[in-house]
Structure formats: C-alpha cells, structure tokens
C-alpha cells in the first residue's frame, strides 16, 4: 500500500464470531484498537512515554461496516492521519481482506493528548508533533474521499 505504515494484520478467531458466523461488532473495535496501538508506537507513544505521565485517549470513534468478515479470514488495517493539532489526532483506519483487498470496514477516531497525572487534556510534546507531521505528510497523497468521513474536522 503506497504511503502507508506497515498494516496491522490478524487472523479472525472463531471465538470472535457472532450468531451469524461472522465477526461481531465488538471485535471490529478490538482490531482497530490494536492497529491504533501499533500507530502509537510508530509516533513514540509507548510504555516509557506513558510512564512519564502522558498518553492519548480515544474520545470519539465511528465504525462503518462495509462487507462481511468471516472467521478464519485474515484482515489487515492501515492507518492514515487526516488532521493533527497540538492536542488532537484525527485518524482513519481502513480494514481490508488480506487476499482480496476488498474494503471491509472503516474506523474514524479522534484522539486527545492527556496528562495522566491531572487526567486532563494537554499539548503533546514537540517530538510527538514532529513525528505526527512527518507521517501526515506521507499520508497526504492518500485518498480519504473513497469513504465518507463522519467525524467533524479539527479546527
């Protein structure tokens, strides 16, 4: 995938199935959360960062289910930065079938940078903002118009 970070990939486990024998809603969120964890490591938000009292909280999530995902299928998720400011990140995760590249689901998230000692929003450090801007530039040529963005734009 052009201009994307390495996709998060997972095999859909049988215990993730619902009564229709396809991926249940909660596991879509689980898969997107794991992809987001990979994204955090990519920008330097790791355990040491959290031990220093800073992190990101997810404050809004919207998942669009596009196609069915059955157990035993491998999916991968790419993550794209739509917008960044000092305190927030607007991400889009795209889940595709590993064999067919068909779009399965889209997840938009707004992440808020937080001081863990005060449990309040705060500006991200310059090193994180620089990592985000660098990634955002790589993502700038990617098409976010292929799906409807639902969350309001950062202002």
**Domain range holding 111?**
8-139
69 is a domain residue: yes
- pLDDT number for residue 121: 98
In-domain check, residue 23: yes
In the predicted structure, residue 64 carries a pLDDT above the cut 60? yes
Q: Does residue 154 lie in a domain region?
A: no
Looking at the whole model, is its pTM more than 0.85? Answer: yes
Considering its fold, how many domains does the chain have in total?
Answer: 1
- Give me the pLDDT at residue 27, please: 98
Of 9, 31, 12, the residue nearest 22 (C-alpha)? 12
CB 142 within 8 A of CB 92: no
The reply to whether 71 falls in a domain is yes
Q: Among the ranges 1-15, 102-116, 136-150, which has the highest mean pLDDT value?
A: 102-116
Taking only the tens place, the pLDDT of each residue in 31-51 is 999 999 999 999 999 999 999
In a domain, 49, yes or no: yes
Calpha distance 79→77 (Å, rounded): 7
Residues 39, 41, 45: CA angle, nearest 5 degrees: 105
Residue 17 has pLDDT above 60, yes or no: yes
Evaluate whether residue 43 is within a structural domain. yes
CATH number of the structural domain spanning residue 31: 3.10.129.10
Q: What is the pLDDT of residue 154?
A: 67
Confidence of residue 3 (pLDDT cuts 50, 70, 90): very low
Cβ atoms of 80 and 142 closer than 8 Å? yes
Residue 3 counted as domain residue: no
> Does some domain include residue 150?
no
- Strand 103-115 versus strand 54-65 pairing type: antiparallel
The whole-angstrom separation of Cα 85 and Cα 116 is: 19
Q: Which of 8, 10, 43 is nearest to 132 (CA)?
A: 43
């Amino acid at each position: 995938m052009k201009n994307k970070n390495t996709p998060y990939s997972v095999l859909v486990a049988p215990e993730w199935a619902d009564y229709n024998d396809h991926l249940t809603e909660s596991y879509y969120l689980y898969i997107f959360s794991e992809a987001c964890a990979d994204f955090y490591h990519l920008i330097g938000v790791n355990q040491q960062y959290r031990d220093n009292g800073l992190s990101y909280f997810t404050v809004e999530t919207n998942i669009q289910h596009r196609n069915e995902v059955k157990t035993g299928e491998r999916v991968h998720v790419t993550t794209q930065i739509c917008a960044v400011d000092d305190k927030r990140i607007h991400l889009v995760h795209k889940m595709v079938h590993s064999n067919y590249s068909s779009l399965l689901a889209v997840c938009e998230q707004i992440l808020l940078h937080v001081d863990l000692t005060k449990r309040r929003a705060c500006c991200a450090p310059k090193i994180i903002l620089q990592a985000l801007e660098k990634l955002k530039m790589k993502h700038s040529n990617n098409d976010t118009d292929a799906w409807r963005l639902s969350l309001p734009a950062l202002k």
